[in-house]
Amino acid sequence: MTTYSKLSRFIFTSPWLLLVFFVIPIAVVLTVVFQAKLPLTSSKYPLLINNVCFSTVILLRFLYYLVGLTRNIRYGSCRSVPRQTTEVGRSADSVRSSLSDAGYMFDSTGHYGEKRDRGYVGTLLVYAGLFLVLCTGTLDNLYQFSGTVQDGIGVATDLKQVSAYKHVSSGPVTAGLSALPKMKIVRQFFPDATYPRGATKVAFQFPDGQEQLVILKSPEPFKAGAYDIYMSRMVYEPKIAITIDNVTPVFNGQVTLEQLRENDNGFSFFGTFYEGPIDGRVYYQPEKSRLRVILQQGPQRLLDTELIFQIDRLSRSANFTIMCERMGVWSEIYVVHRRHLPAIFLGGILAAIGLLMRIMIRPQRVWLEEAGNGCRVRSTGMETNRRVTAED
């Protein structure tokens, strides 16, 4: 066996090469799940390079199997040779002749033969599907863009400006944002039976001068060229000041309130804050502008009081004074470069069909070796075993 044949088999048929490309994805998953600091996970480029190389190997294997459709011998005698042998009373020529009549093809030596099977096509489909998934996913990652905007009623926000986003994640060759419109929020809807996560009425102003009025509601996106724009949730940010005896400050700052999955005594939004040993919890009911503040120090509850925003300027409980100075009401808007999910789903379906074909239809292969008055046979596949031993 030459070095070339070993290298060729490693690249085109060995499963061990494929396992190499799972190291970095597994490390990334472990980093996210367990917050572990593993090598090659602090940057997005190692994973991207890994996927590009993985796609290249899968493409080479697809082409290798595609060319193999035209060959009489598709698998080759050096690949997956079974260890177990069977002694038959017939000569190798006799076994070879009967197998040839049944459609088996033999190589130039006459010692190895195989019959064409649809399972080979299944392997081809597996690599075709995997390449479609990996190639599409890699291209989507190259052009990736996702940005979060927290905006309220007021002036228009230019989505083409990266500075408008609170959080941005982008790929190495992210497409320009020039096609994105300006966004002006004209109305916000509280979460209710119609809009469980709230909704936002937006006026989009496109670069070509066209305007469009849209109600954004989760999870339905608005399509703007290659981008999807959708609202994920409503966010409330009360500015709260808490003092003791109107003199000693306990807390003074903004608290971000996020929507609860289920209402808690009528409150649908909740947030927390910490100030030294003080643990603070804030609840809010937008429909009634009802705000509840709870302070605890360890197991001891120091304060539990409510106030109505814009009606109750102050709320006093024991020696604590609470004031809600203002209430920020934001719509959290996501802008995402659209991924080609139909192509990924199609690739996954092709790979699944191919894998099922490969599992159900096993290769029919045979190795013949002269041995005294008969021959020794190695074989794979139930049909081959039956034909070899039929006349023994």
Same-domain status, 240 and 227: no
Mean pLDDT on 340-368: 95
Residue 125 forms part of a structural domain: no
Residue 128 forms part of a structural domain: no
Torsions phi, psi for 81 (to 5 deg):
-75, 125
Q: Cβ neighbours of residue 358 under 8 Å, at least 6 residues apart? A: 119, 122, 123, 126
Distance CA 308, CA 56 (A): 62
Contact (CB, 8 A) for 91 and 370: yes
DSSP 284-335: EEGGGTEEEEEEEETTEEEEEEEEETTT-SEEEETTEEEEEEEEEEEEEEEE
Q: Which of 329, 347, 371 is the last residue of a domain?
A: 329
Residue 137 forms part of a structural domain: no
Contact (CB, 8 A) for 118 and 361: yes
State yes or no: pLDDT of 361 exceeds 70. Answer: yes
**What are 164-200's pLDDT values in tens digits?**
999 898 888 876 788 899 999 999 998 888 888 889 9
Distance CA 122, CA 131 (A): 14
Three-point CA angle 237, 240, 244, nearest 5°: 165
Residue 348 forms part of a structural domain: no
SS3 116: coil
Residue 136 forms part of a structural domain: no
Question: String of b and e for 258-290 (b: at least 16 CB within 10 Å)?
Answer: ebeeeeeeebbbbbebeeeebbbebbbbbeeeb
State yes or no: pLDDT of 160 exceeds 50. Answer: yes
| N-to-C CA span, the chain | 32
**What are 100-153's pLDDT values in tens digits?**
999 999 999 999 999 999 999 999 999 999 999 999 999 998 888 999 999 999
Same-domain status, 35 and 88: no
Contact (CB, 8 A) for 148 and 233: no
Q: Cβ neighbours of residue 112 under 8 Å, at least 6 residues apart? A: 73, 76, 77, 106, 365, 366, 367, 368
Same-domain status, 245 and 168: no
Same-domain status, 313 and 254: yes
Cβ atoms within 10 Å of 301's Cβ, excluding its own: 11
Residues pairing with 86 in the sheet: 377
The two beta strands, 211-217 and 222-224, are unpaired
What is the strand order of the sheet 182-189 is part of?
157-158, 182-189, 199-205, 211-217
pLDDT band at residue 4, thresholds of 50, 70 and 90? low
User: In terms of Cα–Cα distance, which of 175, 174, 136 is closest to 341?
Assistant: 136
Whole-number average pLDDT of the chain? 89
Residue 343 forms part of a structural domain: no
Q: Which two tokens stand for residue 318?
A: 């024991």
Domain that holds residue 81: 69-116+362-392
Same-domain status, 163 and 215: yes
Percent of the chain with pLDDT over 90: 55
Same-domain status, 225 and 252: no
Provide the domain count of the chain.
4
State yes or no: pLDDT of 3 exceeds 60. Answer: no
